[in-house]
Structure 1
Amino acid sequence: MRVTKKLLAPAIISIAALALAGCAPTSDTPDNSGEAPIDIAIITSETGPLAAYGASYLAGFEAGLDYASDGTGTVDGRELNIEYADDAADADKAVSAAKDFIGQGFKIIAGTVSSGVALAVAEQADQNQVLYISGPAAADAITGVNDYTFRSGRQTYQDVATAGTFIGDPAGQDILVFAQDTAFGQGNLAGVDAVLGAAGANVSSVLVPEDATEFTPFAQQIVDASPDLVFVAWAGATSGAMWEALTQQGVFEATTVVTGLGDVSTYGAYGAASDQLNFLNHYFAGAAGNDVEAAMIASIEAAGETPDLFSPDGFVAAQMIVQAIREGGDDVDAMIAALEGWTFDGPKGSTTIRADDHAVIQPMFQARLVADGDSWIPELVDVVDADTVAPPVAG
């Protein structure tokens, strides 16, 4: 566990001051400087397989805290004591850290990239009645899991529903999921069936053994099936060979192929398929084109970091924490009430924390990759309206 005291660089403070000139505190703002600091715990991956995602989240969080606090690092004059713990994508480590923070009296916990970790921490939040705001973890099960758990990013339903927007109304259309025969691939198949299948699509799959190295026969199966849309869910070192096989077998000429656009490090991973793919996207730098996003990007870059896939998740988490404290003080129930139904301008656009189940109703994006010298960069195709991809209220 590490403890970081927030000392904001003058350049970052000036960015926030410019962005928030119209939102500066007035003489009516309460002075809470004499009260004890608010303790906030951030638990996320700083090492391990998801460390890059954790770094993106943390960069966004620090930019969001600067923005939401008008560059002061305080809320209405009240100091924030922010402590960090590395979960390394391990639920046991996260739960141990959460218990330690809760034992010290912390009432706000945020972070986590892994869905399994988020669900484990959510259980601790419920048992101990503390506010928990999960991060990039995408599992739909996090939404509505209990009264104390929120999220600051998108969820799987929104990813899959965004994929469906490439073919319009999915009713009666044939959608094939092409994925590895692993928990990850099977989970994506289940998600497509639950979202697009429930909307009337005919969902089938080609699941490839995880140890496969020759993908031509599987690519041919896609062509033979002649689906209206192929949803590709793939991870790992065989990605390049897989995309090459789909290109060689003419899959892109035969149908619409959609996959998720990942973080900056993946932009060059698609080879000859790069400019033939349709990408559903949670976020890439420049996608939203609003003032809040501009402030986020400027702040992250001023800190020497790169805006990336999960930067908005950290930024929104900071906005939510400041809102919860500003309206709720030290009272967790009041913090929850302050967040439920809250609509605000986030880096992706207008964002609402749905009161019923704490889903984050937010825009999503369609994107493509375009050549930029010897590399590839994302380009916006369309903004997908938040209500279009809003998940059903969790029961």
Structure 2
Amino acid sequence: MKINRREFMGGALGASALAGFPMPAISQSAPIRIGCITSLVGGYSQFGQNHVRGMEIAAEAINAAGGVNGRKLEIVVRSDDLKPETAVAAARELAASGVRIFGGVNSSGVALALSGIMGELDSVLLTAAAHGNNLTHEDFRPNYFRVTDYSAMRIGAGSHLMAQRYPNVRVWGSISPDIQVGRSVVEVYNSRLPEAYRKLHNAEVQLKDTVWVKFGATDYRNEIARLISQGIEGLVIGVGGTDEATFLQQATQLGLASRLKAMYTTGSEFVAPMALKNRMPANFWSGFHWYYGAYRDNPIAKQVVETFRAKGYGQHPDGFIGMAHTVVLAIAAAMKNGAGDSSKELIPALEGLKFDTVKGPTTLRKEDHQALCDVNYALIGPANNQDGWEVIDSARIDGTPFAGDPTPGIALKFG
């Protein structure tokens, strides 16, 4: 594994510079190199680290079984520092060395920047986390694929889950960062939560004004005071990563959490319970790209969990592990079907691909390259155990009904 944390700024290789590099010939025995571009610094570094681990676990298992058509897989890592310009520079640098396949990526903004140059680089990008609705709709690019669910699916399924589990919670609030993925979360919630209560209970809910926050904020006291003043009973939380843990800690200290009968999130998985431990609030549903506990009967998931633990990474692999693993499985499946390394061959091989993953059967929808898969949520609370928290309940929801119609090049519409 090669890790480079440098920030490739002013000297980024443009199209003309890239053309000056001789492209290495690819032999049938040469390794298949996959670039993992992800966040290895800051509040999302835990997710980025697990992108690397997930891709490497998949590559190691495939290589041990003989590789893909006799070729080994090699994962090459670069940090994007959550900055689009850094990610673009890293992709250009890797493309100059012959890398044509990219995966990982946490931020929707980074994913958008990378998807915009994939055609120029004759490359494909498969993201394992970025959730912005725009990526497979108005900003769709043919060289871009998403192997996980996204805001429309996650918050749509979560809203249905809340209506099922909390039929009497009728006043809802929301807090979200004023960035693309945060706006996507709120757009879906504003439509799907009332829809779910009408469908399941023939009842109306009251949605209070969204409290918008700065991405990366560390002080939520004013925003929490606003939420308390709204008299809400339920809350959708759009802030993610360590921001979510900080918000929950302050919400507990300031008395907001104890007032709420239900909370659900876009999905920072185990971040909040690992930070807060036995200070976790009640009725907190965390969204997951993949919750391993819901797939104990899945042989692929079982192998990933066992390998994760055997390597000493911990006891609880998160969904970033699972979806990064899925990136590699998708590439391997496409190439085993006869595709080569180039985007000209990989794109048609990936379009409509049906393959087995840690979440069971997954399809990459042909029209917009969006994965059709399960959506996972887990109810997490404090516990008197080694972790200080436990999963009390979980939900494994078919995400297809919430995926929306494929509208590549056109914004997703609700209502």
The alignment's TM-score, normalised by the length of structure 2, stands at 0.75
Residue aligned with 2:117, SS: helix
CA drift of 1:38 comes to 2.8
Aligned to 1:301: 309
CA drift of 1:219 comes to 4.5
- Alignment of 1:163 with 2:158, yes or no, is yes
- Alignment of 1:233 with 2:238, yes or no, is yes
Aligned to 2:282: 275
Name stretches of at least 5 consecutive residues in structure 2 with no aligned partner. Answer: 5-25, 199-204, 409-415
- Alignment of 1:56 with 2:50, yes or no, is yes
When residues 265 and 381 of structure 1 are mapped into structure 2, their CA distance, relative to the original with a 3 A threshold, is closer
In structure 2, give the amino acid aligned to 1:314.
A
Q: Which moved more, 1:200-209 or 1:86-95?
A: 200-209
When residues 302 and 209 of structure 1 are mapped into structure 2, their CA distance, relative to the original with a 3 A threshold, is closer
Aligned to 2:380: 369
- In 1, the alpha carbon distance for the partners of 2:220 and 2:164 equals 33
Please show how residues 195-206 of structure 1 align to structure 2 within 5 Å: 195-196=192-193, 203-206=207-210
Name stretches of at least 5 consecutive residues in structure 1 with no aligned partner. Answer: 5-31
CA contact (8 A) 1:113 1:137 kept: yes
In structure 1, give the amino acid aligned to 2:346.
M
- In 2, the alpha carbon distance for the partners of 1:117 and 1:270 equals 31
CA drift of 1:96 comes to 0.8
Please show how residues 144-223 of structure 1 align to structure 2 within 5 Å: 144=137, 145-165=140-160, 166-168=162-164, 176-179=172-175, 182-183=178-179, 186=183, 188-193=185-190, 195-196=192-193, 203-207=207-211, 211-213=219-221, 217-223=225-231
CA contact (8 A) 1:240 1:270 kept: no
Q: Which moved more, 1:181-190 or 1:286-295?
A: 181-190
When residues 362 and 105 of structure 1 are mapped into structure 2, their CA distance, relative to the original with a 3 A threshold, is same
CA drift of 1:123 comes to 0.7
Aligned to 2:15: none
CA contact (8 A) 1:34 1:78 kept: yes
Report the count of equivalent residues. Answer: 360
CA drift of 1:127 comes to 2.5
Counting aligned pairs with the same residue, the percent is 21
When residues 116 and 356 of structure 1 are mapped into structure 2, their CA distance, relative to the original with a 3 A threshold, is same
CA contact (8 A) 1:243 1:270 kept: no
Aligned to 1:2: 2
What is the Cα-based RMSD across aligned positions, in Å? 3.3
CA drift of 1:196 comes to 4.3
In structure 1, give the amino acid aligned to 2:282.
D
Deviations 1:159-186 (A, max 9, x none): 211221220599xx95633215744755
